[in-house]
Amino acid sequence: MSDATGMPDLPGTVDAVQAALAGTGYIAPRNLATTIFLALRMGRPLFLEGEAGVGKTEVGKALASVLGRRLIRLQCYEGLDISAAAYEWNYARQMLEIRLAEATRAAPTLDNHALSAHLYSETFLLKRPLLQALEADLAGPPILLIDELDRADEPFEAFLLEILSDFQLTIPEYGTIRAAEPPVVVLTSNRTREIHDAIKRRCLYHWVDYPSAARELEILQSKVPDAPAALSRQVVAFVQRLRGADLFKSPGVAETIDWTRALTTLDSLVLDPDTIDATLGALLKYQDDLLRVQGQVAADMLRDIQAGLAQAAPGAVS
């Protein structure tokens, strides 16, 4: 990997970032590649926000592949707390240690201070993803993916501030653990709620939008290379039309890929109304959306798409 500024392993230019991501199958637009390049060079966390299924999580996975680093993923959810995200003490082992100390020593001679220090040493510390990301790694600082932060409760965000600003974690009973080399941090949010400004201030922000038709076709050709070219063009055109429709949940890129794989599994060469109706569940995940699109609506959309593609590239659509 090029290294124009002497920083090992990091792509030296925006073009190099874009090309390296493409090498893993992630087709990043120029503005996203620029934000990623800056986050790597400036050592700042990367905060990606956008609709579900547009490829935010894949950025973390692709970076781990590009840099050859370990991927540590913290999947956020309602009720997530510091014991599951950062660390907790092994209380069962601590109790066993206390009983062993009591059994082998006369109670009056126990050095309570020494025993307490021993019980809150690293030996009894259970490390969760946030703490694991601060540990040194022979392959280089890991990629810490904090996924779907908007699913966690708002107070949880306060736990992240110290890590995002100073790449350290303070444990009251133990002390402060600081990363020898800062991990590459990627946070994602589907924007089901607003993330606090204190988090955003510590990050480089990028809104990940739905891809253009040209980029989505490029993504599809990379992810499902065995799909017939005519089928891929029709799928992309159909999905792009659906995103302009009045749906409860528009399909993301992940659904586009899933649908194409389903169609390829059925040996479909092009779309037809019956196949669309039979496989639309790979694309739309709500019954109301399915009922709105299936049948005549899908058939009309397909007819318009076929006419448009035929006009744009005569002979390209069968």
pLDDT confidence band for 103 (50 / 70 / 90): confident
Tokens of 83: 């014991």
Residue 117: what pLDDT?
80
Q: What percent of the chain has pLDDT over 90?
A: 81
93-108 burial string, b = 16+ CB within 10 Å, else e? ebeebeeebeeeeeee
Look at residue 1 and tell me whether its pLDDT is greater than 70.
Answer: no
For the segment 296-310, what is each residue's pLDDT rounded down to a tens digit? 999 999 999 999 888
Q: How many residues are listed for the chain in this entry? A: 318
Residue 97: what pLDDT?
84
Closest CA to 86 of 170, 211, 9, 187: 170
Residue 198: what pLDDT?
96
Helix, strand, coil % (nearest 5) of the chain? 50, 10, 35
Residue 108: what pLDDT?
52
Q: What percent of the chain has pLDDT over 70?
A: 93
Handedness of CA 52, 54, 56, 62 (dihedral sign): positive
10 vs 193, higher pLDDT: 193
77 backbone dihedrals φ, ψ, rounded to 5° = -155, 165
CB-neighbour burial class of residue 45 (10 A; exposed 0-12, middle 13-18, buried 19+): buried
Residue 314: what pLDDT?
59
pLDDT confidence band for 8 (50 / 70 / 90): low
Residue 274: what pLDDT?
95
For the segment 147-163, what is each residue's pLDDT rounded down to a tens digit? 999 999 999 999 899 99
For the segment 173-202, what is each residue's pLDDT rounded down to a tens digit? 999 999 999 999 999 999 999 999 999 999
